[in-house]
Amino acid sequence: MATILFLTHKIPDPTHSDVVSVYYFIKELRSHGHMVYLFSVSPSQKHGNYLLNDLLNYCDEIKVITGDYSLSKRVLYIFHPKFILRHFKLKYPPVLLDLYYNPRVEEELNKFVKDKNIDVIFATRQMAIYTLGFNSISKVIQPYDAVSEWHRQVSEVSAKITLKILYKITTYLTRIYEKIIYPRFDKILVVTTIDKKILKQLTPELNTFVLPNGVDINYFNPSNFKNKDKCSLVFVSNMSGEPTVSNVLWFYRSVFQKIKKEFPKVKLYLVGKDPAPEIQALRKDPNVIGTGTVKDVRPYISSASVVVIPMIAGTGIKNKTLEALAMGKAVVSTHIGIQGINGENLKHFIVADSPKHFSDAVIYLLHNPKIRKKLGYFARKLIIQKYSWHEIGKKINKIIH
């Protein structure tokens, strides 16, 4: 059995998409008999004791460092003399990753690992900079997807010229980061074969593994809710910033208007926190309901006639898609929203990329409740067979070994 140190930029939480997989990796690897340590950072003292108490059931020891990790302070660290010397010592040039660096965090990490015989360091992308000094320990990084490709796509779909320019610059910087930092790791974990292909094109020698995200099939279980199904569509996402704004506006303007002509009373629920002004403006339409932050997305998913995933930009595998399929819902998605999920079009979901194809698919499902139910049945079956965290846990255990 291995001794594994997890380095995470947030406390692993089953409700937060960018660290949800780490939470379940810890649980599953502990169930396979591994010794697990967790080192995390948190912006404040309010870092959720309930989470730490839960994680203590699966971790041998946990250390959380709190402090001010604002962007302005992180930028200042880059110009600190000790940080400049660090570049020469560890032999890497300044890269975008430096924005995550804090000398106090590194100092506390070195104290934490002292006298611990660590076999494997597992780092989220944001914590990669802290692993560079551990040359004798096997290192695994989880960037989830080809982040530079995400920046490139957002640059293409953004309507604002300032955002287009900004994301073109960050695309270039992130590609440098991926080419310089990832080769310093023994294994790189991404969630789709597309992301693997993109990273291998940048750096062919990368030892890259495809490990999709999973879903808690007991939590996202349709039997826990009564299906109200009141002629409504649901899209769940963080509603702030790009590419969500472009995704929502594309759907509202190009798809939803066609659906309303056929079903004048249909409701579109936009479920997610911090809606951008462009999304808030859609609430003027009585057919659109913006919820803002909700404690539990499951009632909204359960009551939907159709779950829509109108992603015109994005990378990686979408947790929102996995959760809707696990809830046994009929899902209509663009190919971007369904990528990385090994299911069959028209059996487990419907893939539609053009506005006409998308609206026609939704209208067809609204007219045919039996087809919706059939799609939902096979959707949940697919998730149970291939995307439960227990199944994903078997794969991460093999990769760690």
User: Does pTM surpass 0.85?
Assistant: yes
Domain ranges of the chain: 3-214+389-400, 222-386
Give whole-number Cα distances, 298 to 213, 231, 304, 342, in Å. Answer: 18, 17, 10, 23
Alpha carbon 350 to its chain's center: 22
Domain 222-386 class, CATH top level: alpha beta
pLDDT in the model for residue 53: 84
Residue length of the chain: 401
Local mean pLDDT, 10-residue blocks, the chain (401 residues): 93 84 94 94 67 89 81 65 67 62 86 92 92 90 91 88 88 87 94 94 94 94 78 93 91 97 96 93 96 92 96 90 96 96 97 97 97 97 96 92 75
pLDDT in the model for residue 94: 60
Query: Do the beta carbons of residue 306 and residue 362 sit within 8 Å?
Result: yes
Cα–Cα distance between 270 and 300 in angstroms, integer? 10
Question: CATH for 3-214+389-400, among 3.30.930.10, 3.40.50.2000, 3.40.50.720, 3.30.450.40?
Answer: 3.40.50.2000
Query: Do the beta carbons of residue 62 and residue 52 sit within 8 Å?
Result: yes
Is there a common fold for 3-214+389-400 and 222-386? yes
Cα–Cα distance between 330 and 349 in angstroms, integer? 6
- Dump the DSSP string for 142-196: EEES-HHHHHHHHHHH-SSHHHHHHHHHHHHHHHHHHHHHGGGSSEEEESSHHHH
Q: Which residues contact 392 (CB under 8 A, 6 or more apart)?
A: 21, 24, 28, 211, 212, 213, 214
pLDDT in the model for residue 223: 87
